[in-house]
Chains A and B, each alone.
Chain A
């Protein structure tokens, strides 16, 4: 009996080392990369990554399986059905955090990638706050982050603010009570907001501003009750902020909303830092003069982040090629190829962030915040809440836009958090 067990062990070890050895050989075959990067800088970044990867591994045949539309909703629908059908893509894009953990990791469908991290020394190269987010309780890491985005950024045009005689508000109270009336008196929209998801995006900035870092994190780990006076105050403030916004928000995409600031119709816009790319490339504005930025009111010293990552599903046909791809993605070289095009920060700290040809003034500024601020996760982009919560939250945000009823909204969110198993 004992002999048989040890024999099995030996076989297992041999097979494992054999598998490891074959992963070290030059990878070949097909590699299907699944993402929702189908336009603009995102697509350009992905294509540049693939081009460089092909130079490194000419034997691998890369298949770019990007699904367009719905800011990833459509892609996630396709991904879910492929995973359920037992036909996972070789590697897929996923937001770091709960979007990954609540489903794919919890269901045991992802391979741990700790060996890749150790082999490349990434445990020292990636920031600790980020590693905490993507490491599970047993110390396993399942994905390689390609980029970092900041969610809590307020955009404005400095010359316009001077013309209207307002300054960047330091808190939401100041915005609602001082900045907003001053701008409305001049017939300027104080804040431009777009369709539903941009409202959820605004909400998380308001929540972070009102609750502070610990209070905001508490919403997701259970230490801040959704029905507490503080949480209701978030909705109250959010309602007042919405009163200062344009009344055609449901008709605007995020680009439309950001553009109103550039056009001088609105004073401020809260949007993730992909807006920097929009101002720079699409609208050809100079950072610092044509457009400027600040942390959204009350969130100075906090960096609300989201990150696109890639992982290795279990049971794919060609894990060697996927490991090669992931090992490439995390390097400073790959991150310096991708992020300047996509308009995001590199996750790897050895990237050439000081190179102003690659990273513009916004990103150099954001990077110093990234390395010094408290890091919190974004709700609107799947970091801190499971998909079922985000879906219900979209309906609550949409309902609140109609009735501005803080009590109902906070009660509903509390029920939703319970039902989706976010809070025990």
Chain B
């Protein structure tokens, strides 16, 4: 028996080996090579001549976050954060709503399901072209109200130059540190209120001390050198609508599958216990859909962090109000032909995606171990 299982393992190992090797080379090898490139001043010129690139350490990264000329990249980062948050929010909310509505055993459900899912079959390029026409401030949906005699819409959509929630980019590290400290403090206090242990109490005291230290004068040491106003670019709303239109159906399909997986007995039991219809969703359905929400967030999150084609088509590439790191990376690498800088942007994007994906992987691995 033992020999059998060892042979099984050996066979399994050799079956997996080809894909492991391919993954190792084409995913992790190339990540490593991108990382190595990002630490050099590699350019098309250097590659073509064949001279080795100079090692510049973290200069490319330093430039991206503090360099005078890389304001564009910092705008991209701010845009990405706002876009990702709104895109995920819109997709989850509307996707859930559509799924719940479709779950009411209505007639023609299959037809509606297909209609809602259909945009996902299009490529982002098509979506971008269509919505670029629709959002044209002088010809698109702004004109729609005039059909019924209302005044023309004035919202400028993807060419809007308004900015909300403005902040000084210099202060970002300080803001981030305070937010992290606040989260740690709240976590420690919650922990302490439950267990009365000394470790959470010490952590809480430590965070308070650190924030006091920062507040009393040394916070400015953390600030970035250049004064730059960043904020939420209103033009992003247009991108959120276009991207949301495409991905809402997908979120709906995921939720619908989840809803179908919740047995009617559970709902019945809740109703028998005197739960209102709203309560059934609040206390039974939503908690059971939590794993699906998480998966949907991961999938939507990595789509939005890597988004390129939709913005490229809608904005023409150099519209900073809706610019994204992916575009910047493409232009730095292939228009500017500065491979080192392009690779650095790619690594920052990888880190952003990793921040979203790794907690998910860890939690799903853990739950697998539990189940095993």
Contact = CB atoms under 8 A, between A and B. Distances in A.
Interface of A: 70, 73, 76-77, 80, 83-84, 102-104, 106-109, 195-197, 247-251, 253, 387-388, 390-392, 394-399, 401-402, 411-412, 415-416, 419
Given A80-B337, A411-B68, 5 more contacts: A73-B334, A103-B48, A387-B44, A398-B320, A399-B72
Interface string B48-73: 11000000000000000000110110
A394 B318 contact: yes
Given A107-B49, A412-B69, A73 B318 contact: no
Contacts of B315: 250
B71 A399 contact: yes
Contacts of A415: 68-69
22 contacts: A73-B335, A76-B334, A77-B330, A77-B334, A83-B48, A84-B44, A103-B44, A103-B337, A195-B318, A196-B317, A247-B159, A248-B138, A250-B316, A251-B137, A388-B43, A388-B337, A391-B331, A391-B337, A394-B331, A395-B320, A398-B72, A402-B320
B47 interface: yes
B10 to A, nearest CB: 39
Contacts of A248: 136-138, 156, 159
Contact of A70 (B48, B156, B317, B321): B317
Contact of A416 (B69, B136, B138, B330): B69
B332 interface: yes
A248 B135 CA distance: 11
Contacts of B319: 195-196, 250, 398
A-side interface mostly: helix
A395 B75 CA distance: 11
A314 to B, nearest CB: 11
Contacts of A391: 331-332, 335-338
B336 A387 contact: yes
B232 interface: no
B334 A392 contact: no
Contacts of B321: 250, 402
B45 interface: yes
B69 A392 contact: yes
A251 B159 contact: yes
A67 to B, nearest CB: 12
A390 B335 contact: yes
Contacts of A84: 44, 47-48
Interface string B147-176: 000000000101101000000000000000
A217 B367 CA distance: 67
B160 to A, nearest CB: 10
B202 to A, nearest CB: 47
Contacts of A102: 45
A226 to B, nearest CB: 13
Nearest to A78: B334
Nearest to A390: B335
Interface of B: 43-45, 47-49, 68-69, 71-72, 132, 135-138, 156, 158-159, 161, 315-321, 323, 330-338
Contacts of B330: 77
Contact of A103 (B45, B71, B72, B332): B45
Contacts of A396: 69
Contacts of A80: 44, 334, 337
Nearest to B157: A251
Nearest to A83: B48
A196 B336 contact: no
A399 B337 contact: no
B316 A196 contact: yes
Instruction: Please list the 3 inter-chain residue pairs (A to B) with the smallest Cβ-Cβ separation, ordered nearest first.
Output: A391-B336, A196-B318, A77-B334
A109 B47 CA distance: 12
A89 to B, nearest CB: 15
A73 B71 CA distance: 22
A76 B331 CA distance: 11
B69 A419 contact: yes
A331 B137 CA distance: 48
Nearest to A79: B334
Contacts of A195: 316-319
A419 B334 CA distance: 17
Contacts of B323: 398
A107 B48 contact: yes
A411 B69 CA distance: 10
A408 to B, nearest CB: 9
Given A84-B44, A103-B45, A250-B159, A387 B318 contact: no
A392 B158 contact: no
A109 B48 contact: yes
A388 B336 contact: yes
Given A76-B334, A76-B335, A251-B132, A398 B318 contact: yes
A251 B69 contact: no
Contacts of B132: 251
A399 B320 contact: yes
A392 B47 contact: no
A129 B333 CA distance: 32
B337 to A, nearest CB: 5
Contacts of A390: 335-336
A415 B320 CA distance: 20
Contacts of B320: 395, 398-399, 401-402
Contact of B318 (A197, A412, A419): A197
B12 to A, nearest CB: 37
Contacts of B43: 388
A108 B49 contact: yes
